[in-house]
Chain A
């Protein structure tokens, strides 16, 4: 991209509210949603069910579909692998027992269900959580958010809503409101 083209692109309208208290953060989220403002992310040092409830209203994560698909695939694989390989040697039939023997293959089916289900859950988690996330915006890379602070971050807020957003963040109890991405963050206890 040439410098001329870069200059033509409007800079992202970043707004970041940092909270020291969970109830203030929740009030901020509630007021933003009540005002119909969207496009923000919440960063927190731990998963709190109140935050998830406020943002997603109890909708389950799609990771469960990955889990189910993986488990069904594993179960099928766990049956097919021993059945097909044993069927290649039907002449080896000790004691008149069946070549495809469900009680003995059930163990393999069980283990493969768990293994494939687990690996698919891992894949689903990585895809939906957007990992690895080395390229996340700098405003989200605030070491205070893994310590004891919470954040509401707009990476590119609607310019017409800027005043409304900063007002909501301030009145809900944000201890710091910053715009732009030039903040230098201190590393706690470093």
Chain B
């Protein structure tokens, strides 16, 4: 299963650097499509700023619409990257080496996308600094007892730690890009690599620091989506107020993230000719991770219903019945199909190893995970305690346009990265290669 490993250190460098700075026509087309989506979304954000939040479908009951849904979605996507880069590093899992760099890039870009949504949801984006505690004239401070404030700390810490972890891991590879180029490119990458030369002093502290970053990122990845889930679970809203939420959200985040890693890496490996580095070994491991987390989600959905019924709380039971039978039932059943049923065939190795089938399932998983958040966020507020406050929620065109724009922003960042930075960690791949020795075999 280890695939066709490179034979030498130099071969690794050559294979990974080969694709940089030389976009194919297909790549340029994909890049232009992502830019087009980004501009489309940006224009609709401009419309929203100009006309106000009335351009969106949110109303008095459903005050959290697709912006919060999409925020949770993108934060969740990021989780698999940190899982692969930090947790699998600490447990010395070998399959991470081929996929961790691209997954980590996915994490950073997904969190950058997610960070747009609280700003979008705010409406008056120029007052975004109110999120942060800062001394002001009236000595007013933020409410640290609010889960929303915990979320500000959790997401900003997550972004900072992920970005630092990502950049530090990138430094030795940036130095390789510099050393294999001349002129302006070499100069720019020398600055980005902070003049890295791979001396014993540099490597020693690099490895120590890298271990600590991994150790910090590990509890962080489990905590971030727990904190995001408390945005809901801390409120006494029927359908939200549950201690099940943190583990259920973390499992869902890893589920969608692993699916997104497969969605991104499969075409990348194919078009860049990187079968040696990213192959079925990795897809198989990621697909198994999807299966495990899909089982956890299915169990969580069932538990929610069981507790809704067993608690004999009429509000709780009402909202769960309404989710499955009310006007948003289509979203509920789409979620059940995509998250609980569609991944099941992956139990069969033959289907798991079928590239096209696996690729389609991972896309379905991400559709399902967006609708999971849609179900949670929208249904509980649209159908709350007081029947006189029941309102239908229909996302407006503006919201869909911004959703497309956010995907454009994410893919614009990811595609740009894949042509300008090494998307497979050369330094770590070399650790898998038997070192060159004169006096016989060495591992």
Chain A contacts to B: CB under 8 angstroms: 20-24, 41-48, 51-52, 55-56, 60-61, 63-64, 67, 81-82, 85-86, 88-89, 97, 101, 104-105, 107-108, 110-112, 114-115, 117-119, 121-122, 124-126, 128-136, 140-141, 143, 145-148, 173, 187-190
Contacts and interface: CB of A to CB of B under 8 A. Distances in A.
A1 to B, nearest CB: 25
Contacts of B161: 114-115, 118
Given A128-B201, A134-B195, A187-B180, 17 more contacts: A46-B431, A47-B427, A86-B144, A97-B145, A104-B150, A111-B223, A114-B161, A114-B216, A115-B160, A131-B195, A133-B194, A133-B197, A134-B190, A136-B197, A146-B197, A147-B176, A189-B17
Interface string B329-360: 00000000000000000000000000000000
A164 to B, nearest CB: 21
10 contacts: A42-B200, A43-B198, A47-B427, A108-B144, A119-B160, A121-B209, A133-B202, A145-B197, A147-B180, A188-B13
A73 to B, nearest CB: 14
Given A23-B437, A104-B144, A51 B212 contact: no
A187 B10 contact: no
Contacts of B13: 146-148, 188-189
Interface of B: 8-10, 13-14, 17, 133, 139, 141-142, 144-145, 149-150, 153-154, 156-157, 160-161, 164-165, 168, 172, 175-176, 179-182, 186, 190-191, 194-209, 212-213, 216, 219-220, 223, 227, 427, 430-431, 435-439, 442
A147 B426 CA distance: 10
Contact of A143 (B133, B157, B179, B203): B179
A-B pairs with the 5 shortest C-beta distances? A61-B208, A143-B179, A82-B144, A125-B209, A85-B141
Given A108-B153, A125-B168, A188-B10, A56 B204 contact: yes
Contacts of A51: 200, 203
B208 A60 contact: yes
B133 A85 contact: yes
Of the candidates B156, B186, B197, the one having the most CB atoms from chain A within 10 angstroms of its own CB is: B197
A107 B203 CA distance: 34
B104 to A, nearest CB: 15
Contact of B150 (A44, A108, A189): A108
A92 to B, nearest CB: 9
A105 B150 CA distance: 9
Contacts of B145: 82, 86, 97, 101, 104-105
Contacts of A55: 200, 204
B141 A122 contact: no
A26 B43 CA distance: 60
Contacts of A97: 145
A121 B181 contact: no
A101 to B, nearest CB: 6
Given A114-B216, A125-B205, A131 B198 contact: no
Contact of A129 (B153, B176, B205, B442): B205
B212 A148 contact: no
Nearest to A110: B223
A190 B181 contact: yes
Given A47-B203, A88-B141, A147-B179, A63 B150 contact: no
Contact of B212 (A22, A64, A89): A64
B183 to A, nearest CB: 9
A23 to B, nearest CB: 4
A185 B442 CA distance: 29
A189 B209 contact: no
Contacts of B206: 47, 125, 129
A95 to B, nearest CB: 11
Contact of B436 (A20, A125, A141): A20
A64 B208 contact: yes
B40 to A, nearest CB: 35
A190 B186 CA distance: 11
Nearest to B230: A107
A31 to B, nearest CB: 15
A148 B216 contact: no
